[in-house]
Amino acid sequence: MSDNYMPLVPATLAFNEHGTPVSRDFDDVYHPEWGALEQARRVFLPGNGLPARWQGKDSFTVCETGFGLGNNFLALWQAWRDDAQRPARLHVVSFEAHPFSARDLSLALAGRLQEPEKTLADQLVAAWPPLLPGLHRLEFEGGRLTLTLAFGSVARLANQVSACVDAYFLDGFAPRVNPDMWTRSLFGQLVRMANVGATAATWCCTGDVRRGLRDAGFLVTKEPGFGGKREITVATLRPGMGRSPNRTLPRQPVLVVGGGLAGAGVAQALALRGHDVTVLDPAFALGLGGSHHGHIAAAMTPVITRDDDSRARLSRAGVSRALQRWQGLPGQARPLLCGTIALARDAQQEADCHSALEHLAFPADWVTWLSREQASERAGRALSCGGLWFAQGQKVQPQALLEALLCHPRIHCMVNQVEQLRPDGTGLWLAMDSRGKELARGAQVVLANAAQATALLASMPNASNLPKVESMYRLAGQVSYYSGTAVAPQVVLAGDGYCLPPIEGRFVGGSTYGLDSAQSCITQQGHAEVSRKVAGLLNVPLSGLGRLPGLDDGWAGWRAAVSDRLPVIGPIDEMPGIWLACAYGSRGLSWAALAGDVIAATLDQEPLPLERELLRRIAPR
């Protein structure tokens, strides 16, 4: 997708003379005049044998082609709520090339729906993502209902979705006006994702669609229709086809080696899904936030590139995941949604920003250009140039964040260094200290110990050869703390370095990069380097920063990275039960929540929150 970027074109809200929503572009209605929820209850739910087919299951996954106004989703959600025998978790994946804005969605649903769906619609609108291409993961009912929206044409995205689907709602506009939603290639992708016994239903009865479904692998039949439609189509995957879901085994604890941002993100995602997690890290001797002890604030900002490359797509997925996962945290652990201005260093960079914005056509409430005057007003001080404004930019207090993520009744933290990992002969992994003493045991082990993951992996029996991971290197770095808050910005300022809004009478500036350092510590030389950057960003002379920081006024740490500067996240295929979550480089905050959900969702066979192409880019191999 990177080199043939297609901007997302939102839908325009319009109604016909009967008050039914219509698409002027496709010349079709969003649902029959006799009712959207009724169609869901008469075609899509019973055509898939619901609710009976999900009863007694732990989880159930529905995939829809054409999210539209979300009526089918709301009807499904309500049916799930109404059913005492519902599965504990319901996952919905839905493709939509032309999403409505949150405002139009609200206008179209609010006036028409009665309770109880109206309340659900309000929750949907409140959670509605920015109109950006790619996958968006929404959660409702405390995470027991997930909605993975794939924004973009189904022709491009169907092969990018990872899901194990039990039921399909085929709800494109009519094949005559919308052939892309009924192609054989799409039906092939539906079969790729189908579980054993998967079903499909649609109001569409054309011979082509029925033959297409049949040739892809479904047994297709007609059922009586409603409201002027004589028949509907229902289909069941042929016996012998489809994936068999994992047997539900008694759950063993998951071991996480390393309790920094990577380990804490994974542990939280697993604990939220009901897994018991043991996290081991000697840094816990300084408390649960030990790996960022004394680090008072850090920045999280998405990036954009003109061709919307992997790094840009991952970063916006990561920042949006963090926003959802962390905005509900208490007190200082909740990131401050202050926004970021990424300053353009020169005229060429400004021209590049304009060109990228025009090409990407992202919504202005997500990223937009600010002139020097506008940027100065946002920052609360006179800046030397304009820049890109990211409304989702955040200031994070890493130590408080880590403490909150790890403080969960299902997470057990141990102050230990893991020196060896061995299979115990019963299908579990054994974590041991330097004397070979058992520390903990688990069926899955996530190596979240940054650059030290390489050595630990190499020490394991039958370790795989993973060139990317073996090439991991680390960079030392420090940030500096300034006490003159009069010059501090009200937003995150980024460019050559960064500086953050004030926190308890100080503000943070960053940072230094030391490739060949043997140790990472705060130095006066480091302060001088950071101060030059911060003074440049704030458009003040060095003296404007007030008293220069002393050796206690900062934080020093490491960044582990691999050559493509993407994180390494996922299972090691040749070593069942071993996962990696490392190489977070300079953007640990952007990857932490996303990596947690990628690993936990893979383990639990949920739809994944990232495109397959991106999963391949971050995979250990």
Ligand X SMILES: Cc1cc2nc3c(=O)[nH]c(=O)nc-3n(C[C@H](O)[C@H](O)[C@H](O)COP(=O)(O)OP(=O)(O)OC[C@H]3O[C@@H](n4cnc5c(N)ncnc54)[C@H](O)[C@@H]3O)c2cc1C
Q: Does 558 bind ligand SAM (CB under 6 A)?
A: no
| Percent of residues in the chain assigned helix, strand, coil, to nearest 5 | 35, 25, 40
Residue 378 CB, shortest distance to ligand X, in Å, is 19
Write each residue from 575 to 604 as x if it is in contact with ligand X (CB under 6 A), else as -, in one continuous string: -------x-xxxxxxx--------------
Could you give the CA distance from residue 339 to residue 413 in angstroms, rounded to a whole number?
Answer: 33
**Contact residue for ligand X among 282, 287, 294, 363 (CB under 6 A):** 282
Instruction: Determine contact, residues 403/287, Cβ cutoff 8 Å.
Output: yes
> Exposed, middle or buried: residue 372 (CB in 10 Å: 0-12, 13-18, 19+)?
middle
Please pick, from the candidates 61, 71, 162, 332, the single residue that binds ligand SAM as defined by CB under 6 A: 71
Q: Cα–Cα distance between 366 and 360 in angstroms, integer?
A: 12
Query: Vertex 487, ends 484 and 489: CA angle to 5°?
Result: 120
Interaction of residue 181 with ligand SAM, rule CB under 6 A: yes
Q: Which stretch binds ligand SAM (CB under 6 A): 165-173, 206-214, 415-423, 492-500?
A: 165-173
Q: Which of 47, 51, 70, 501 binds ligand SAM (CB under 6 A)?
A: 70
For residue 291, state whether it binds ligand X (rule: CB under 6 A): yes
What are the angstrom distances between the C-alpha of 257 and each of 260, 327, 447? 9, 26, 5
Instruction: Kindly state the smallest distance separating residue 96's Cβ from ligand SAM, in Å.
Output: 5
Q: Does 59 bind ligand X (CB under 6 A)?
A: no
Ordered alpha helix ranges (H), 22-70: 36-39, 45-47
Among 63, 69, 270, 314, binds ligand SAM (CB under 6 A): 69
125 is an interface residue for ligand SAM by CB under 6 A:
no
Interface with ligand X: number of residues (CB under 6 A): 38
Per partner kind, with CB cut-offs from 5 to 8 A, the member of ligand SAM, ligand X, none near residue 30 is ligand SAM
Instruction: Tell which positions 408-447 bind ligand SAM, by CB under 6 A.
Output: none
Q: Considering only 80-88, 153-161, 198-206, 603-611, which stretch makes contact with ligand SAM by CB under 6 A?
A: 153-161
- Judge contact between 325 and 143, C-beta under 8 A: no
Packing angle, helices 117-127 and 102-110, rounded to 10: 170
Binders in 361-380 for ligand SAM, by CB under 6 A = none
Q: How far is CA 293 from CA 283, 284, 288, 585, 593, in A?
A: 9, 10, 9, 18, 20
Of 502, 498, 497, the residue nearest 482 (C-alpha): 502
Per DSSP, which regions of 496-612 are E strands? 497-499, 507-510, 554-561, 568-571, 578-582
* Interactions with ligand SAM, residue window 34-53 (CB under 6 A): 36
d(CA 301, CA 504) in angstroms, rounded, equals 22
User: How far apart are alpha carbons 474 and 312 in whole angstroms?
Assistant: 22
Answer for which of 203, 389, 558, 579 binds ligand X (CB under 6 A) is 558
- Choosing from 217, 242, 260, 509, the residue that interacts with ligand X (CB under 6 A) is 260
Q: Does 549 bind ligand X (CB under 6 A)?
A: no
Q: Which two three-digit tokens encode residue 613?
A: 């192409």
Quick one: what does residue 212 bind among ligand SAM, ligand X, none, with the CB cut-off 5 to 8 Å set by partner type?
none
d(CA 573, CA 616): 12
Nearest distance in Å: CB 569, ligand SAM: 28
Binding site for ligand SAM (CB under 6 A): 11, 30-31, 36, 64, 66-72, 95-98, 153-155, 171-173, 178, 180-181
Binding site for ligand X (CB under 6 A): 257-263, 280-283, 291, 298-300, 417-418, 448-450, 452, 456, 477-479, 510-511, 557-559, 582, 584-590
